[in-house]
A and B are shown apart, each in its own frame.
Chain A
Amino acid sequence: MFEEPFRFVEAIANRREYIENELAAGSPITALAFDRGILLFTMGRDRQKLFEVYDRIALGALGHPGDIERLRMLAIELASTEGFTRSAADVSLRRLVNYSLSPSLKAAFEQIYGPPYLARLLFAELGTTASTDHFVRVDFDGAIHSNGNPALKKRPGFGVLSGTKRSETRMEDFLTKEHRGDHSLHDALRVARDAWVIGHLALGTKDETNPAAPFPSAAEIQVTQTTVLAQAVFETAILDRTRLEGPTYRTLDASDLAAMSR
Chain B
Amino acid sequence: MPRPASEPAVGTTVGFSDFPELLRARGLLPVTTAAAGGPHHAAQTQATTILAFKFAEGVLVAGDRRATSGNVMVYDRADKVLEIDTHSLMAIAGSPGAAWEMARVLSHSFQFYRRTQLQEMTVAAKVRSLSKLLRDNFGLALQGVGAVVPIFATYDAADRAPGGKLFFYDVMGAQFEAADYATTGSGSPAMRGVLYHENTYGRAPLRSLDRDAAIGLALRALDTAAESDTATGGLDPRGKIFPVIKLVTAAGVVSVGDSDMTRMLPARHE
By the criterion CB–CB under 8 Å, are B108 and A83 in contact? yes
Q: What is the predominant secondary structure among interface residues of chain A facing chain B?
A: helix
Segment at the interface with B among A13-21, A25-33, A66-74: A66-74
Q: Which residue in B1, B104, B111, B114 is a CB contact (below 8 Å) of A107?
A: B1
By the criterion CB–CB under 8 Å, are B19 and A80 in contact? yes
Interface size on A, residues (CB 8 A): 25
By the criterion CB–CB under 8 Å, are A69 and B118 in contact? no
Whether A181 is near chain B, meaning CB under 8 Å from some CB there, is no
Contact mask for chain B residues 103-121; partner A; CB cutoff 8 A; 1 contact, 0 none:
0110010011011101000
* A70-B7, A76-B116, A77-B5 known; A84-B14 Cβ under 8 A: no
By the criterion CB–CB under 8 Å, are B14 and A73 in contact? yes
Segment at the interface with A among B22-30, B181-189, B242-250: B22-30
By the criterion CB–CB under 8 Å, are B1 and A84 in contact? no
Q: Which residue in B28, B114, B115, B116 is a CB contact (below 8 Å) of A81?
A: B28
Q: Which residue in A48, A53, A78, A84 is a CB contact (below 8 Å) of B23?
A: A84
By the criterion CB–CB under 8 Å, are A247 and B28 in contact? no
Q: What chain A residues lie within 8 Å of B116 (beta carbons)?
A: 72-73, 76
By the criterion CB–CB under 8 Å, are A81 and B26 in contact? yes
Residue on A nearest B83 in the bound complex, by CB = A246
CB distance from A105 to the nearest CB of B (A): 11
Within 8 A of A (CB), among B9-29: 14-16, 19, 22-23, 26, 28
Whether A133 is near chain B, meaning CB under 8 Å from some CB there, is no
Q: What chain B residues lie within 8 Å of A48 (beta carbons)?
A: 118
How far, in angstroms, from A69 to B112 measured CA to CA in the complex?
A: 14
Whether A52 is near chain B, meaning CB under 8 Å from some CB there, is yes
How far, in angstroms, from A51 to B111 measured CA to CA in the complex?
A: 13
Q: Which residue in B4, B8, B111, B118 is a CB contact (below 8 Å) of A80?
A: B111
CB distance from A204 to the nearest CB of B (A): 31
How far, in angstroms, from A104 to B7 measured CA to CA in the complex?
A: 11
Whether B122 is near chain A, meaning CB under 8 Å from some CB there, is no
By the criterion CB–CB under 8 Å, are A81 and B1 in contact? no
By the criterion CB–CB under 8 Å, are B28 and A74 in contact? no
How far, in angstroms, from A81 to B112 measured CA to CA in the complex?
A: 10
Within 8 A of B (CB), among A37-63: 48, 51-54
Interface size on B, residues (CB 8 A): 24
Whether B208 is near chain A, meaning CB under 8 Å from some CB there, is no
Whether B6 is near chain A, meaning CB under 8 Å from some CB there, is yes
Contact mask for chain A residues 96-111; partner B; CB cutoff 8 A; 1 contact, 0 none:
0000100110010000
CB distance from B120 to the nearest CB of A (A): 12
Within 8 A of B (CB), among A118-133: none
Q: What chain A residues lie within 8 Å of B26 (beta carbons)?
A: 81
Q: What chain A residues lie within 8 Å of B108 (beta carbons)?
A: 80, 83-84
Q: What chain B residues lie within 8 Å of A100 (beta carbons)?
A: 4
By the criterion CB–CB under 8 Å, are A80 and B22 in contact? yes
Residue on A nearest B114 in the bound complex, by CB = A52
* A73-B14, A77-B6 known; A84-B105 Cβ under 8 A: yes
CB distance from B136 to the nearest CB of A (A): 16
* A70-B6, A104-B4, A107-B1 known; A77-B15 Cβ under 8 A: yes
Question: Which of B23, B104, B116 has most chain A Cβ within 10 Å?
Answer: B116
User: Top 6 nearest A-B pairs by Cβ distance?
Assistant: A73-B15, A73-B6, A84-B108, A74-B4, A74-B6, A80-B112
Interface of A toward B, CB cutoff 8 Å: 48, 51-54, 66, 69-70, 72-74, 76-78, 80-81, 83-85, 100, 103-104, 107, 246-247
Other than A51-B118, A66-B14, give 7 A-B pairs with Cβ distance below 8 A. A54-B115, A76-B112, A80-B112, A81-B22, A84-B23, A103-B1, A246-B86
- Selected A-B contacts with CB under 8 Å, 18 pairs: A51-B115, A69-B14, A70-B14, A72-B116, A74-B4, A74-B6, A76-B116, A77-B6, A77-B16, A80-B108, A80-B111, A80-B112, A80-B115, A84-B19, A84-B105, A100-B4, A246-B86, A247-B111
